Amino acid sequence: MNLLERFLPKTDNFFIEGMRLALLDFVFLTASGLIVFVLFSLAGLFRRIGIPVPFPVWLVSLFLVIPYYVFLFEYGKTYGSKNNRRQLYRGFMVGILGHLPNFILIFILIQGQMFRYFNPQVWKAVFTMLGMVSIVAPIMVALGSVDNK
């Protein structure tokens, strides 16, 4: 836990903490994106060979997405403890600012028409998961910021 405490909020300034979360989100996107791409590419390779392997969506959700949501809730909870008023919109602003890399990545993927370069099944799974994270992650930070316990 000591390792994670180093990355938790230090102030009640939503802009500074949102930018810190954006940096953490960028690191998470890079690392998890690489892991997801490798896992899905291997599954796609096995499928092309003729081995019926499902895409490891549940594996990615279990080991990457759910712990990330827990970390975001703790991030919001720590931010809320620094803020005396515990306002929902300030936590939501931290979440939105912190997930700018997600929104930028989605914009680039759509505008760059990246779906042309990927297997359609891989694209659908990855894009759905990225969209899910982009919607739920700011909400997790906001909910954590108003938690009283």
pLDDT tens for 33-68 read 888 888 888 888 898 899 888 878 888 888 888 988
Burial class (CB in 10 A: 0-12, 13-18, 19+), 117: exposed
pLDDT value of position 45: 86
Return d(Cα 6, Cα 100) in angstroms, integer.
21
pLDDT above 60 for 16: yes
The CA dihedral of 8, 72, 98, 25, to the nearest 10 degrees, is 90
CB atoms within 10 A of CB 36: 22
Q: Per-residue pLDDT tens for 101-130?
A: 888 888 888 888 877 887 787 788 888 888
Tell me the residue type at 141: V
Cα–Cα distance measured from residue 112 to residue 131, given in angstroms and rounded to the nearest whole number: 17
Record the pTM: 0.83
pLDDT of residue 139: 92
